[in-house]
Amino acid sequence: MDILNRIEQLIKQKGWSIYKLSLEAGVTNSTLTNMFSRKTLPSITTLSAICDALGITLAQFFADDNYGEVTSDDEKELLHHYRNLSSKSKTAVIDLCKNLD
Inform me whether the pLDDT recorded for 64 exceeds 80. no
pTM over 0.75: no
Class at the top of the CATH hierarchy for domain 1-69: mainly alpha
What mean pLDDT value characterizes the chain?
Answer: 88
Query: Contact, 31 vs 22, CB < 8 A?
Result: yes
pLDDT digits (tens, 9 = 90+) for 22-61: 999 999 999 999 999 999 999 999 999 999 999 888 988 9
Residue 71: predicted pLDDT: 67
Higher-pLDDT residue of 83, 17: 17
Q: Write down the domain spans for the chain.
A: 1-69, 71-101
CA-angle at 30, arms to 25 and 33, nearest 5°:
85
